[in-house]
Structure 1
Amino acid sequence: MEYRRLGASGFKVPALSFGTGTFGGVGRLAPWGATQVEEARRLIDICLDAGLTLFDTADIYSGGAAESVLGEAIKGRRDKLLISTKATFRNGEGPNDVGSSRFALIRAVEAALTRLHTDHIDLFQLHGYDAQTPPEEVLQTLDQLIRQGKIRYIGVSNYSGWHLMKALGVADRHGFPRYVAHQAYYSLVGRDFEWELMPLGIDQGVGTVVWSPLGWGRLTGKLRRGQPLPAQSRLHETADFGPPVPEELLYRVVDALDEVAAETGKSIPQIALNWLLQRPTVATVVIGARNEDQLRQNLGAVGWNLTPEQVAKLDAASVTTRAYPYWHQAGFAERNPPPV
């Protein structure tokens, strides 16, 4: 397993990390999976054997059950792995059970530490932007938690460019720790991330933690032009969670993936993941799995690389018209070169 620096920090993370959204099986995320402790231990064994040591979770995954399952499954080997978790989405009925206030963040971190059976979180990320709380309050609270040893590194998720840049400016102005990670949606059928957030990451030293790298289950190899959704596709239950994808774009990408699969002997998911691993700023790609077979398949995305010609083929198939002003800026590469 390749290890990469997380942004401009000295912290190294595996190129693939494991997402625990399938742990617990409670509530709205139940269609993702219902992995319990015994099976989770087996999946974690496979990950560790492959050198995958970073496990990503969140307080809203199955209402905290995902963190609890992970915490039970890693007992006795906490020192063998890294934990990333997230907070800020509503996780209770009270007026302060949401957001990034000092009250909410301290309580969220304390609750996560309890569920995970650990005394520290290696990477703590704000799951979404909170426009109701001043960034000074957010960063001062995270600084306090770092000084207490309860979290080691901080990041954000699902931020827009100005959200992240404003926070980095506040951190620099007051000497607070900087965000070193942005957990973001990015895939061959969702490349909006490249327009602003990727250049920002390069400029500011923010590494990308990619979520839903298979385009919300669309790049599993099961979707084909003119065919209905497979009976077992999670898109039946969770399509409303993810962004819409024009059918022609999806099938154009799938056609290109099929061509590369024939050339490489790799599966469509492995190719889609490997493409992401070659993109600028990407530090780690979060993979998920409901069972051993899916996990082993996804682990096969590392240890080899697509050729430049194959990358170019996938780039061409997945390109879309950018929103303004990005399409205008892209026309002047002399002044605005693309990320490399």
Structure 2
Amino acid sequence: MQLPCALSFLVDEASDMPGADSFLAELGARLLADGLPLAGGSLTQAPPHPIIARRSWLWRADAGTVIQALGIGTAGTTGAEHAKADRDWLAGLGMVVMEEDAAGHGHDRAAIRWAATRPLDASELELLRAVARFAVAPLAVIAGRATLAALLETYLGRRSAAQVLAGRLRRETGETIRAALLYADLRGFTALSETAKPKEVIAALDAWFDRIGGAVHAFGGEVLKFIGDGVLAIFPIGERSSGAACDAALRAVAAARAGMNHLDKSRAEQGLPPLPFGTALHVGEMLWGNIGTADRLDFTAIGPAVNLVSRLEGLCRPLGRTVLLSGAIAAETTQPLVPLGEHRLRGIAAPCAVFALRE
């Protein structure tokens, strides 16, 4: 007995789909090939993600592709409201013929809905019910891959996560990349942690990391490390020019400063102290790869450029500046800067030309 086209796809091919969007598009096409008069469909999953609570993919039969992928924030929207939004969208295409078929459990749980151009007969409805049952296994595989990618990106960052997913799980020489580097650090954090309650300290850290990390990501950079109350981030060169990467880093610094100014005003209204910080920018090469023991690794960056940017940030307090730039990055930007002369940095042999932003 020959399986319907949609069921054959779910048994033999669906687990190899790269994502839920391509899964839904192909499944819808196979159901059309089986003669079902579908107008559209939706697939909703609840991925393990620090920001996204549910993700929906919406497919239109006339276009043949998934036209939207919605990342839904955690606050204020319930599962029932998500389901209603999906049904309302499908109702705009045709008759909703299957309200919801849930497959799987926990993060693997998925809701599949369909809309048709006419009422379906008993055999067509039975096929959709069979599709929901057969979809459990491939959707679990697809959800598992998405979960792994989301977890690695959350803890390692997008660039490092891609390397780990590609199978780089051994200590290696690594690769040398060129990037604009940003190192930022809170000042007086030790005193704050000694005097404030633990919850207040964590809240302050999270607020700080939101501002600096959010600014880095907004301008195409990537946070490599949270080091205590410090942040090491890069703006890789290659996808864009050296000058463009350095300008992106400078724009990220400007955005972070604006965010921290707003945060300090809010903290002042609550009777809390400000959160002063220092930031340094440099551009150079670094070695990027696995470091650690044979069975416990850390994907990180090392090299003279990383050492220099962290030491340069240490000059922010004695020089009375929030942002300092090395001579290497100053040579890559047309932004007006204030030269502060050459300075010796601890552990760095050659003196470093130091510049500051005009206040």
Q: Which TM-score band applies after superposition, normalised by the shorter structure?
A: under 0.3
Question: Which structure has the larger Rg?
Answer: 2
Select the structure that is richer in strand: 2
Normalised TM-score (structure 2): 0.24
TM-score normalised to the size of structure 1?
0.25
